[in-house]
Amino acid sequence: MMIHLAMATGFLLILIGFYGALSNRNLLRMIVAFTIADSGVNLVIVAIGYMPGRTAPILDATVKAGDAAARVIDPVPQALVLTAIVIGVGVTALMLAYAYKLYEKKRSLDIAKFTELRG
Amino acid sequence: MSLLLTAMTLVLCIAMIVAAFVAILGKSLPIAILAAGLVSLVASVLFVILASPDVAMTEAAIGSGLSTFLFFFVLGRVRGGERDGEDEPGSEHG
Amino acid sequence: MVKRLLALLLLAAIGGIFTTLVLGYMPDAELNNTARYYADHTAADIGSANLVTAIVITYRGLDTLGEVTVLFLAAAILGLVLARGRRQVQARRELTPVGELLTTGSRVLVPLIMLLGVYVFVNGHLTPGGGFQGGAVIASGVLLLLLTDPLRQFAHTLIAAVESLAGVFYVAIGLMGLFLAGGFLDNRFLPIGTLGALFSAGAIPIIYTLIGLKVGAEFSVMLSDLSDTEAL
């Protein structure tokens, strides 16, 4: 139940992010929408790794090394999401830098004003 | 216990979706950026419930902390462009 | 209007796919083979209490090296793109002085934040956290310094030196694993020690410390690059 709830929220966030990126014309707001879609993707992947009734993949006094396979959740999706978040902020920073440069050129953040590449 | 966790998940999910809609549809850009940061912050709480403390720490420190500040640095530089594409007459937006 | 309709149509299609995915999803009752291998063998092979750290640093260490490289590239491109926007900083901005609270508060808080960052990445193999989280915490300390004094000139050469030295040592440790142990980035050329001790898990604490320094330096460069730009 919890998994489906989290997963549905993640997918919904992806859709909201896409909608925001498609329907807004302000560059900064499009980047905000992309970060929201990013959070949604991360949420979906983490939800896939979760298993009901198990704990975090960290061995300690209560989760012994011997019975770890029966007690912990899947650590692989977490490692993937760890990477995804860090890369995500790098990509966001790049998009912001380009948005700044475009603003420097045109004094505007409206993508409708950037017509050089229009056929 | 499980019921409590499910209820918490439900509340957090609703909060995330509301914050996401504020970020996409709200009129003011600073509030949109803060709302996007809020989505990340609530997501990190949800990651703790989903038994992923590593991911939760990363999301809280990087996704919600640093990237919000990156946005505000740029927003502070382009203050004039804040309203672009929002209140233009005859645009098909909105 | 047509555009808007097309966008909504596209979203409806994607939403349909997502709905079938959610409704058809059944969580596994058992770990799959890969995860089971990691859960069974990490304690004996790697000696790291945190399975995620074991995967990130050792089993998939090459991915992490690539990830750090991507982050470095992002920081470098950011610097390149914004380079022309960075001119004489002192001349142009008259800033309102920041408050007493921020100045004094940052003097108290910055050392503590840095200490927390170091704690997080040194303990990456025992507790949740690690190089990326610790690096981000350190960068937020730098951010506090930037907020206190936006005109502050950071020692860019120092940050660059930390960043590149950490990268070089990271690759060097990977090569030591290749020659002294089983393969590139193998952590077992140092003793594995007892599970749960600070000095255990072979080279993992060292690698995560290097990653923490590198990531912290990269995020700091990104923040100070973006904050050095000119207000338009």
Q: Which chain C residue has the Cα nearest residue A67?
A: C40
Contacts of C7 in chain A (CB under 8 A): 19, 22-23
CA distance A63 to C176: 32
Tell me what the pLDDT averaged over chain B comes to: 81
- C-beta contacts of A30-35 below 8 A and 24+ residues apart: A30/A111, A31/A92, A31/A95, A31/A96, A31/A99, A31/B71, A32/B23, A32/B24, A32/B32, A32/B33, A32/B36, A32/B71, A33/B23, A33/B24, A34/A92, A34/A95, A35/A88, A35/A92, A35/B36, A35/B40, A35/B63, A35/B67
Give pLDDT, residue C81.
82
Give pLDDT, residue B81.
53
According to DSSP, residue B27 is labeled S
Give pLDDT, residue C92.
53
Chain B: give the shortest CA distance to residue C222, in Å.
Answer: 8
Instruction: Say which residue, B32 or A63, is predicted with more confidence.
Output: B32
User: Within an 8 Å CB–CB cutoff, is residue C182 touching chain A?
Assistant: no
Give pLDDT, residue B92.
38
Q: Which residues in chain A (53-112) have CB-CB distances under 8 A to chain B?
A: 54-56, 58, 73, 78, 81-82, 85-86, 88-89, 92-93, 96-97, 99-100, 103, 107-112
Contact in structure between A42 and B43 (CB atoms under 8 Å):
yes
Instruction: Name which of C55, C26, C58 is nearest C39 in CA terms.
Output: C55
Say yes or no to pLDDT of C31 above 70. yes
Give pLDDT, residue B29.
87
Tell me what the pLDDT averaged over chain C comes to: 82
Contact in structure between A92 and A31 (CB atoms under 8 Å):
yes
Query: Out of B55-64, C32-41, C63-72, C148-157, which region has the weakest mean confidence (pLDDT)?
Result: C148-157
Give pLDDT, residue B65.
85
CA distance A57 to A48: 15
Please give the structure tokens belonging to residue A82. Answer: 């760890």
Query: Out of B31-40, C150-159, C167-176, which region has the weakest mean confidence (pLDDT)?
Result: C150-159
Give pLDDT, residue C37.
85
Query: Average pLDDT of C124-151?
Result: 84
pLDDT band at C77 (very low <50, low <70, confident <90, very high): confident
Per-residue model confidence as pLDDT tens digits over B76-85: 877 755 554 4
Give pLDDT, residue B41.
92
Say yes or no to pLDDT of B27 above 70. yes
Say yes or no to pLDDT of C89 above 60. no
Q: Which residues in chain C (37-66) have CB-CB distances under 8 A to chain A?
A: 38-40, 42-44, 49-52, 54-56, 60, 63-64
Q: Where are the domains of chain B?
A: 2-79
Q: What is the dihedral of CA B61, B62, B66, B71, to 10 degrees?
A: -140
CA distance A26 to A45: 29
pLDDT band at C86 (very low <50, low <70, confident <90, very high): low
Say yes or no to pLDDT of A48 above 50. yes
Instruction: Considering only the beta carbons, identify the residue of A17, A56, A111 that sits closest to B52.
Output: A56
**Chains linked to C by 3 or more Cβ pairs within 8 Å:** A, B
Which CATH architecture group holds A2-113? Orthogonal Bundle (1.10)
> From the candidates C226, C228, C229, C230, which should be mutated to test the interface with B, based on the most B CB atoms within 10 A?
C226
Give pLDDT, residue A14.
92
Give pLDDT, residue C185.
77
Q: Which chain B residue has the Cα nearest residue C229?
A: B77
Q: Which residues in chain A (20-59) have CB-CB distances under 8 A to chain B?
A: 20, 23-26, 28-29, 31-33, 35-36, 38-39, 42-43, 46-47, 49-50, 52, 54-56, 58
Burial label, C119 (beta-carbon count in 10 A; 0-12, 13-18, 19+): middle
Say yes or no to pLDDT of C34 above 90. no
pLDDT band at C154 (very low <50, low <70, confident <90, very high): low
CA distance C24 to C193: 45
Q: Is C50 helix (H, G, I), strand (E, B) or coil?
A: strand
Give pLDDT, residue C151.
67
Query: Out of B15-24, B50-59, C87-96, which region has the weakest mean confidence (pLDDT)?
Result: C87-96
Instruction: Say which residue, C1 or C115, is predicted with more confidence.
Output: C115
Chain C: give the shortest CA distance to residue A55, in Å.
Answer: 12
Instruction: Considering only the beta carbons, identify the residue of B5, B46, B77 that sits closest to A43.
Output: B46
Which residue shows structure tokens 């946005």? B71
pLDDT band at C201 (very low <50, low <70, confident <90, very high): confident
Give pLDDT, residue B88.
41
Q: Vertex C104, ends C102 and C106: CA angle to 5°?
A: 65
Helices within B26-83 (DSSP H only): 29-49, 53-58, 67-77
Chain C: give the shortest CA distance to residue A60, in Å.
Answer: 7
Instruction: Say which residue, A52 or B46, is predicted with more confidence.
Output: B46
User: Within an 8 Å CB–CB cutoff, is residue A69 touching chain C?
Assistant: yes
Say yes or no to pLDDT of C68 above 70. yes
Q: How far apart are the first and last CA of chain B?
A: 45
- The winner for highest mean pLDDT among C139-153, C179-193, C212-226 is C212-226
